Structure 1
Amino acid sequence: MGDERRSDEPGQLGDAPVVADIDFLSGSRHRLRILNVLRGDAMSRRDVRASVDASRSTVRRTLEGFLSRGWVESTDDGYRVTAAGELVAAEFTRLSETLRLTEEFAPLLEHVPPSSFDIEPEWLAGAELTVSTTAEPYAPAQTQTETIRTADRFRGFLPAIELDGTELVHDRITNGEFTASIVLGPACADHVMEEPFAELFREKLATDRFEVAIADGTLPFYLGLPDDERIEIGVADAEGIPRALVQSSNTAFREWGEATFERYERNAEGLSAADFETEQTG
């Protein structure tokens, strides 16, 4: 038959049976909920209906569709999910959560290059998102500044730099309250080697509580690793306006951030206080 697949040929997304199954499961908000309910003990139709608050006809049509696809089976104790149904429910639930997270974190994701942000979607679950709004256009930057104000240690890379934040870091480091290791984007190089930045960098480097390097290429986003638990990812638009900042305590996300920072740091050019000498200091 034209629509039949040989058992040794994997189904592709464009195959009619695969598309039909996806359409069926996503065609009603009740169907995935019913399939997940049946992943527990066997249930009667009445119990299923009560669990998902669906009509009798909706539950009947859904169960018939699941039975015909081999996702559930009918037993003396009621309906229960099969091994195939368990796999379908688990993967479709994961896909649904991924879609929810990508919608929630769209202000961040639309500004990061996919090749540089190879994370698992579930790492974003529970993260805090600060976005730029008309009323508070610099809200992400303000949240980032608060991190610098309260952390004891910090590592990260910054595509851009501004004076207020540099002065805050300088004051906390020279007062013995803070240690930092940063990688700056190439666009910052000439900028920070001129006054008033240069003096602030010289004084920070003199404390041995500060390290700075210049990346060998464009930095894809702001990455912050304050203290030992959190990770921050920040993005800006083409004009350099901060658009979103994500903060997370997810362990895997943090480990990814540490590995990412260390990769950029290895390829960066370290700077010393002498690199910040200017004509004014001479």
Structure 2
Amino acid sequence: MPSEDAHEDVRYLAGSPGRIAILRAIREEPLRPAAITRRVESTRTTVQRVLAGFRERRWVVERDATYRLTATGERVCDAYENLLDATARAREFAPFAANAEPIATELPSAAFEHGSLTVASAQDPLAPVDRLIDRFEETESAAVRSVSPIVSRTFNEAAMELLGRETSIQLVIDERVLETSTESFPEAFKRALDRCDVSVRVHPDPLPVGLFTDREGPRTCLMAYDDQNTPRALFECTDESVHEWALGWFDRVQDRSRPLEDVVDDGSDPTGRDGMDADADIGDESDVA
């Protein structure tokens, strides 16, 4: 466990943005105090005081009135920069991570290093959905893998667009989505049963996130939802390790799921449309998402 002295050194460096700015400046090249003052736009008194603190901690040495980092100073500067980067990324990805547990903890580290986020806001609450639909439209893959914990007319229509381009879809939904689909979107549900280019499986437990990817990759999209199943953030990444993780997670989810046909065969017509014309007018549908 780090000593109290180490905690004090961290508190000292974090106590002022000017201190890390001075450490960075000296890391770039050895400098005299006057040059440091100009580089970081600070007062000479402040720079001299900070340099004294650095000398006390053995982060810098002075030779011929010029300051340079020691080996420990280099390590402290690098570690602090890494901490700042990690903290900035954590803040950026907080809307996704907070709504995508436990999946967020399973993602490879490359996800947070190379991924990007589209977040819902008061000004644009559908930004994540619109972004995902863009990805649907851009997809040229012949084999899409998808997991959906919600039902949405928008997603249904985007999926039909994909199928029109001779794309096959393997989709996993949960039992809640199945129930909503049969009640609110019977036509889309019936098409899923009838089409040979759509494979739907039903998972017994609520699904934590939405997934959109394909076998070829490398783009992976993960949608995080809040407790009301409202899309909050869309994560995207083209890193190969993230794509491999996504395919592995999809396979695990799929393995725990049952084919839609088997679920349907277990009971009565889940569309509740026994004896009804499949093309009958069902009125206006609205997005559940």
**Secondary structure at the counterpart of residue 199 of structure 1:** helix
Pair 1:34 & 2:22 matched? yes
**Matched position secondary structure for 2:234:** strand
Deviation at 1:113, TM superposition (A): 1.7
- 1:45 offset after TM fit, Å? 2.1
1:49–1:215: structure 2 CA closer, same or farther, 3 Å change rule?
farther
Does structure 1 conserve the Cα–Cα contact (< 8 Å) formed by 2:182 and 2:189?
yes
For residues 272 and 234 of structure 1, do their structure 2 counterparts lie closer, same or farther at Cα, with a shift above 3 Å needed?
A: same
Mapping of residues 77-92 of structure 1, within 5 Å: 78-92=66-80
Pair 54,120 (structure 1): closer, same or farther in 2 beyond 3 Å? farther
- Give the C-alpha shift of residue 132 in structure 1: 2.3
| CA distance in 1 between partners of 2:62 and 2:107 (Å) | 40
Q: What is the aligned counterpart of 2:248 among 259, 272, 280? A: 259
Q: Show the counterpart of 1:144.
A: 132
Supply the distance in 1 between the matched residues of 2:15 and 2:263 (Cα, whole angstroms).
Answer: 66
- Is residue 241 of structure 1 aligned with residue 230 of structure 2? yes
Q: Which runs of 5+ in 1 are unaligned?
A: 1-9
In 1, Cα distance between equivalents of 2:41 and 2:264: 69
Distance 1:98 1:58 in 2: 28
- With normalisation by structure 1, the TM-score equals 0.80
Question: After superposition, what is the alpha-carbon deviation per residue over 1:132-176, rounded to whole angstroms, capped at 9, x for unaligned?
Answer: 233432222222122212212332321112233223313431x34
Matched length: 266
Residue 156 of structure 2 corresponds to 166
Q: Distance in 2 between matches of 1:170 and 1:185?
A: 20
Aligned to 2:192: 201
In the aligned structure 2, how far is the partner of 1:86 from the partner of 1:222? 42
Code of the residue aligned with 1:21 in structure 2: it is: D
Choose the corresponding residue for 2:167, options 172, 178, 189: 178
Secondary structure of the residue that 2:106 maps to in structure 1? Answer: coil
Share of identical aligned residues, percent?
23
**Distance (Å, rounded) in 1 between the aligned partners of 2:245 and 2:41:** 41
Taking the aligned partners of 1:55 and 1:180, their CA distance within structure 2 comes to: 63
Q: Which of the numbers 46, 49, 54 marks the counterpart of 1:58?
A: 46
| Aligned positions of 1:218-233 closer than 5 A | 218-225=206-213, 228-233=217-222
Partner SS state of residue 74, structure 1: strand
Q: Give the CA RMSD over aligned residues.
A: 3.0
Query: Could you tell me which residue of structure 1 aligns to residue 281 of structure 2?
Result: none
Q: 1:118 to 1:18 in 2, by over 3 A?
A: farther
Give yes or no for contact 2:103–2:209 (8 Å, CA) kept in 1.
Answer: no
